[in-house]
Structure formats: C-alpha cells, structure tokens
Amino acid sequence: MFLRKKLDKQISKSDIFSLALGAIIGWGAFVLPGDLFLSQIGLQNTIIGMSLGALIMIIIEKNYGFMLSKHAVAGGEYAFTYYSFGRHHALICAWFLGLAYISIVPLNATALSLIAKSMFPGLLEKGFLYSIAGYKVYIGEILVASLALVLFAYFNIKGVKIASALQKVMTMFLVGIVFLLLFMVLNNPEIGNSNISTYLGFSKLSIPKILKILTIAPFAYVGFDCIPQAAEELDFSPKKASKLAMLSIIVGCLIYIMLNIITAFAFTQEMILSSKIDWATGDAVELLLGKIGLYSLGISLLMAIVAGINGFYMAASRILFALSRAGAINSWFSELDKKTKTPKNATLFVMAVSLITPWFGRSVLLWVVNMASIGAVIGYLYTSIAAYKLAKKENDKTIKVTGLLGAIFSTSFCVLLLFPGLRTSLTMPSYIALIAWAILGIVFYRKQAKGYKDMKKETLDKLILNKDSKKLKNVG
C-alpha cells in the first residue's frame, strides 16, 4: 500500500488571478514595444496580432478549463495528457513544459539588470567577467539576479499564503501603474497626436507582420496555464478558476496594448530605428511625464519581473512535484515542507538550476527560452486534443469545437516555430538546444524511468489523477 502525498487547499480566487496575470506580464511587455512591436511590426498590426493571440489563448483556455473540471490535481497538462494518451505521452508533455517553466524563472531574474541599465546606468555593471554571444557578464548583475532567485524560493517554501500575498501586491502595483500612466498621457493637453498618427492607416496593415505577432502569442500569454499546476491547492471551484484565467488573458492583452500606445505617443517608428534609444517605453514615459513617470514605470516593471519569478516558481515546482509523486522522477522532488506543505525540494531544484544560468548571459538564456516556447505549445496541443476526445465521448459540442480549434492553432504555432526558413522559425542555436533537450529526454527515459514504465495502471491512476481505476473511464 502506498501513501499519496497531497497539497493543501490554500489558494483563493484573488490569489489565482494574480498568479496568472503576474506570470503573463513579464519584462517583455515593457521591452518589446521598442525592440519589436513598434520598430518592426507597427502599432496597428501589434494591436490586431495581440488581440487575435488573446482570442486564440482564450479558446485554448476553454479546453484547459474543461479538463481542469475533470482533473483538478497538481501537474495540469501532465495529468490531462496521462488521462487521454497514457504515461509515455504524459512524460513527453511534462518534459518540455517543465523546461519552459523553469527557464522563465532565471529569464525574469536576469531582466532586473534591464531596469538598472535604463534607470541607473552603470549601477550593476561592476566586476566584468567575460562575454558570451556578445553579451557582457558582470558579477554585479549576477548577484542581483541570484538574490532575487533565493529570496523568492524562500517565500515559496515558506508557504503558498506568503507567496500568494506577495503576488497580489505586486500584480496590483503592476496593473495600477500602467493604467495610471496611460490615463495621464491621454489627459495631458500638451501631448499631441502627431507621432502616434504615423502608425495609423490602412496602408500600414500587414498580414505577415500580424502573423509574426501571433507566433509569439504562446510565449506572450504563457502564464494562464500556471493555474492547472496549482489546481490541487484551489479552495474554490475549478470552473471559476477557468473564468479567472480568461480574465487574466484579457487584462494581459490590454497591458501589452497600453504600453505600445504610450510609447507610440512619444516616438515614430523612424525615431525608434534611427536614434539611440535603449528602452523605448522608458524613454517615452520620461519624455511625456518626466522622472516621476519613469520611476513609476520602473516600479511597474520591477513588479512584473518579480511576479513572473514568483509565478513560475510555483508552476515549475508543481509539475516537478506531480512527476515525482507519479514515480517518473526521483521521490526527492515530491518531499514537502513539514510546516507549510509546499514542494520544498522541487522549489530548491528550480532555484539551483536558475542560479547557474545568469553566468551564461542573457543571449544564451534567450536561446533556451525561445526553444522552450515549444514546450508551452506542446502543452496547449495535448490539452486541446485531450479535451476534444473527452468532449466527443460526452457529446459536448462546444468543447469539441474549441478542442479542434485549439489543436489546429497549436499545430500552426509548431509549424511557424519549427519549419526552417520562415521568418518566424527558431534560430539555429535554439534548434540545437531543442534537439539536445529531446536527446536528453530519451536518455533519461531509457535509463531512469524504469519504475514509471513498469508501474501498474491502477497505481498511476491513483497517484496522478487521485482516482480509482474502476471508476475511471479513460478515453485514451
């Protein structure tokens, strides 16, 4: 007889909403207006692309909500995939999804240096070590990123309540400041429309550019799928969690659009491309609203970064916990803190891996993260097909449609990212990282997962889904 470890139900509605939204809005929302959206895509194409991307994510989330209502357990997509396709597919899904979640933690931590470079030039550029792929690595930046990683690992281990309370405060500041800044820009009579008007007009519309934005949607909105990872800890109905996930996608889309509008009021596309603008959105806010506006934006960016660290710590540790509980990886990962009942060892592992990555610089880390976006898409694909299969069995016409659409969209994302030669495809370093991770997964499966492969289905049903096989009607 075995003892199934379980997590306590401690997460409220406001907790889960702030978890999802804080994970969605990371450093990219503040940096991409200058680096990609306005400089290469244009305001109209960005708004259309991000809105369509949000709509697609809401359709995919419908599938998540449907599966979550059936299996509200830690692991999310891992459990959904196991139910519909069995243990082997479940492990493939979790292998790539786990990498996506884990890699985003240090990506957010290293983004702290972006704030310092823009607001306090030279502050962290102390103790130059070396350059990797054109990125200069400084000990000052590594120390700050490491401090953030250790601090939020501590908060997560000390309990869901502490981590969730911090997430709510950070998300409130993040959203509130962006809304306030846009309100101030729109209501300032001294700010004209001459710059933003250059982005408008039918001739500015471009389907290829809109498609380019759509390809980053899985990465831009990754975060709503953190909710299924924490499903076992919800103290309310999973159906309500699904509605909150949709709301987080909508608010996240608005934040992306608002930051682009603010930037467009200050700079034309030509200005961004021709002048030496390090941080277009930051420079725009300073130009329009002064230093107070810039510092306010800096606080909002800081909240976005640390909320992302916190949110993906929770998501990554839960999927590792679920894998360990099922016997797919070492039982060490499913050890819980004696007082707080949180996945202590899984959190420590995420922290340890994350502490290594800043030493390689952001360029190398971005290769991994770009590749890891495939992991999020794989999660979307498996969940959508699983929802379709179950909906077909239960004759749920709505979910049959969203499941099929979700599978089509997810497959399209995969093609756009993986097919060589397309503008949207991965770079060669990201392809290499993807192949290396896949090979590592095959080696791991053959060498380390023997117990998992040989385990009785009845045992796995209980460990993964917390259900009796006799009462469970699998569709796979």
Q: What is the average pLDDT across 189-194?
A: 88
* pLDDT at site 471: 65
Measured distance CA(432)–CA(448) in Å, rounded: 23
- Judge contact between 98 and 81, C-beta under 8 A: no
Measured distance CA(357)–CA(120) in Å, rounded: 24
Measured distance CA(336)–CA(10) in Å, rounded: 15
The model's confidence at residue 179, banded by pLDDT at 50, 70 and 90, is very high
* pLDDT at site 475: 58
* Phi and psi at residue 172, to the nearest 5°: -60, -45
Measured distance CA(268)–CA(196) in Å, rounded: 7
3 state DSSP class of 362: helix
| pLDDT tens, residue by residue, 166-175 | 999 999 999 9
Measured distance CA(111)–CA(26) in Å, rounded: 9
What percent of the chain lies above the pLDDT cut of 90?
A: 64
Residue 470 has pLDDT above 70, yes or no: no
The sign of the dihedral angle between the CA atoms of 85, 91, 93, 94 is positive
Measured distance CA(303)–CA(286) in Å, rounded: 19
* pLDDT at site 1: 47
Closest by CA to 434, choosing from 131, 103, 132, 162, is 103
| pLDDT tens, residue by residue, 81-98 | 999 999 999 999 999 999
Q: Structure tokens of 374?
A: 């495939």
3 state DSSP class of 234: strand
* pLDDT at site 474: 58
Measured distance CA(334)–CA(75) in Å, rounded: 12
Measured distance CA(318)–CA(10) in Å, rounded: 14
- Judge contact between 11 and 233, C-beta under 8 A: yes
Measured distance CA(209)–CA(40) in Å, rounded: 8
- Three-state SS sequence of 180-225: HHHHHHHCCCCCCCCCHHHHCCHHHCCHHHHHHHHHCHHHHCCCCC
- Give Cβ neighbours of residue 413 (< 8 Å, ≥ 6 apart): 214, 215, 217, 218, 377, 380
What percent of the chain lies above the pLDDT cut of 70?
A: 98
Closest by CA to 124, choosing from 132, 116, 136, 135, is 116
* pLDDT at site 325: 93
* pLDDT at site 391: 97
Measured distance CA(456)–CA(52) in Å, rounded: 44
The model's confidence at residue 476, banded by pLDDT at 50, 70 and 90, is low
Q: CA 356: distance to chain centroid?
A: 20
Q: CA 405: distance to chain centroid?
A: 21
Measured distance CA(413)–CA(392) in Å, rounded: 24
Measured distance CA(341)–CA(8) in Å, rounded: 7
Report the amino acid identity of residue 466: N
* pLDDT at site 472: 66
3 state DSSP class of 131: strand
- Judge contact between 341 and 7, C-beta under 8 A: yes
* pLDDT at site 446: 83
Closest by CA to 372, choosing from 125, 136, 106, is 106
Length of the chain counted residue by residue: 476
* Element of type H or E holding 380: helix 361-394
- Token pair 């390689």: residue: 360
The model's confidence at residue 4, banded by pLDDT at 50, 70 and 90, is confident
Residues of 206-234 as b/e, b for ≥16 C-beta within 10 angstroms?
Answer: eeebbbbbbbbbbbbbbbbbbbbbbbbbb
Residue 41 has pLDDT above 90, yes or no: yes
- For each of the domains in the chain, give its residue range(s) and CATH number, in order of start: 13-465 (1.20.1740.10)
* Phi and psi at residue 137, to the nearest 5°: -100, 125
* pLDDT at site 30: 92
Q: What is the average pLDDT across 457-462?
A: 92
- Judge contact between 234 and 16, C-beta under 8 A: yes
* pLDDT at site 135: 86
| pLDDT tens, residue by residue, 8-37 | 888 899 999 999 999 999 888 998 999 889
Residue 378 has pLDDT above 90, yes or no: yes
Query: CA–CA distance from 263 to each of 33, 182, 211, 285, 286 (Å)?
Result: 7, 10, 22, 7, 10
Q: What is the average pLDDT across 425-436?
A: 87
